[in-house]
Chain A
Amino acid sequence: MARSGVVSWRRRSEKLDGFDMAPMNSEEAHVLAVDDSLVDRKVIERLLRISSCKVTAVDSGRRALQFLGLDDDKSSSVGFDGLKVDLIITDYCMPGMTGYELLKKIKESSALKEIPVVIMSSENVLARIDRCLEEGAEDFIVKPVKLSDVKRLKDYMTREAGLEESGMNKRKLREPCDLPSSPPSILPSSPSSSSSSPSKSPSPPLSSSFSAPSSPTSLDSPIRRLKMTNTD
């Protein structure tokens, strides 16, 4: 099985025949995973790697902020080792800084606020979910995290990581294919750019009018469902 659906522009034509048109960036997405539990870090790392993502896993909110270049009150737009981060996935309950506090710090930072943040929690508490979504979390996953959850996360990354290139790619190449959930119809109009920054697409207005999800444990992210119906 193809481990990675990533195709670079150069190789595209060679791979046209029988190629699985996975909506992919020309680079692998880089996810920062934050969880104080080693077991959970191993699992989330594997889930992400098997889904063709680069992963950096840290054990605390503080380390996450260090990695992102946000140390205490200092703010910088460069990641610790220069790698851009396409998605942050964090546990809610952590000693020291909770996932919620981490989320707030990220959304308060002009350099980092565009990075989608997903919260994980073993507790299915509606008030907690609401708080996180209101603070700007992209989604909320009830643990244990499964492959289907991670597959859903990929949509946030490909949609928001400025994939104009592959968007156009798909419009040309998808005519014979029937893919009802093709991202191009969902992508908001954004300035065309390479995928170098996750902040290109504006945060979809739909999420601000979105209220509490009715069922956080449903298979589809409620946010995704809302976005899809509005663009159809």
Chain B
Amino acid sequence: MLGLGVDRLRADMNRLLAMLFHQGVLDEQFLQLQQLQDESSPNFVSEVVNIYFHESEKLLRNLRELLMDREFSDYKKMGTHLNQFMGSSSSIGAKRIRNVCVAFRAASEHNNRAGCLRALEVLEHEYCYLKNKLHELFQIEQQRVLAAGVRYPMQNN
């Protein structure tokens, strides 16, 4: 029964990943990160992703503060934040977020404040979505590891 649990959990993970790929939320760089995870670095993906979340939240806060300022004019600074966000998003395979950053940057280069605000909202939404889905993924992974650990004593009976 528990053996089936592990397989089912793995299937759940794969299904979730496939969906995220299909939606264009993640790209193959995420797979590359998974390939870098092994016994010597068993939590590599979640470690990197958690750093990404931490940094992203700071960047999103900075972007919002900049845009909420009625006297805002520092598009260059916004561009810097966006470049950072773009870079780290592409490094973990967060394709959709990266693409929104590209559009955001274009609006910022045209000093288009309204466009920037719109882009920021999409960005915040996309970020929320990604964070929820990746948390879900890591939860299933944790459950799978636990279930796999419990399975072996049963097999010996």
A3 adjacent to B91 (CB under 8 Å):
no
Could you tell me how many residues of chain A have their Cβ less than 8 Å away from some Cβ of chain B?
19
A143 adjacent to B35 (CB under 8 Å):
no
User: A42 to B93, alpha carbons, bound, how many Å?
Assistant: 14
Beta-carbon contacts under 8 Å, A118-148 to B:
122, 143-147
What is the 8 Å Cβ interface bit string for chain A, positions 18-45, against chain B (1 contact, 0 not)? 0000000000000000001111101100
Could you tell me the dominant secondary structure of chain B's interface residues? Answer: helix
List of A residues within 8 angstroms of B38 by Cβ: 50
List of B residues within 8 angstroms of A42 by Cβ: 47-48, 51
B80 adjacent to A39 (CB under 8 Å):
no
Cβ-neighbour of B91 out of A95, A143, A147 (below 8 A)? A143
A3 adjacent to B40 (CB under 8 Å):
yes
B92 adjacent to A46 (CB under 8 Å):
no
B36 adjacent to A39 (CB under 8 Å):
no
List of B residues within 8 angstroms of A122 by Cβ: 83, 86-87, 90
In the complex, A115 has a CB within 8 A of chain B? no
User: A146 to B32, alpha carbons, bound, how many Å?
Assistant: 7
List of A residues within 8 angstroms of B92 by Cβ: 39, 43
Cβ-neighbour of A40 out of B35, B40, B91 (below 8 A)? B91
Of listed A37, A47, A146, residue having the most chain B CB within 10 A: A37
A144 adjacent to B51 (CB under 8 Å):
no
The residue on B at minimum CB distance from A47 is B36
List of B residues within 8 angstroms of A38 by Cβ: 51, 55
B36 adjacent to A147 (CB under 8 Å):
yes
B32 adjacent to A147 (CB under 8 Å):
yes
In the complex, B111 has a CB within 8 A of chain A? no
In the complex, A93 has a CB within 8 A of chain B? yes
The residue on A at minimum CB distance from B35 is A147
List of A residues within 8 angstroms of B99 by Cβ: none
B87 adjacent to A146 (CB under 8 Å):
no
Which A-B residue pairs are the 6 nearest by beta carbons?
A39-B88, A144-B29, A144-B91, A46-B36, A122-B87, A144-B90
A: residues with CB less than 8 A from B are 3, 36-40, 42-43, 46-47, 50, 93, 95, 122, 143-147
B: residues with CB less than 8 A from A are 29, 32-33, 35-36, 38, 40-41, 44, 47-48, 51-52, 55, 80, 83-84, 86-88, 90-93
Besides A37-B88, A46-B41, A122-B90, 18 more A-B contacts (Cβ < 8 Å) are A36-B84, A37-B87, A37-B91, A39-B48, A39-B51, A39-B88, A39-B91, A39-B92, A43-B36, A43-B92, A46-B36, A50-B36, A93-B87, A143-B91, A144-B91, A145-B91, A146-B29, A147-B36
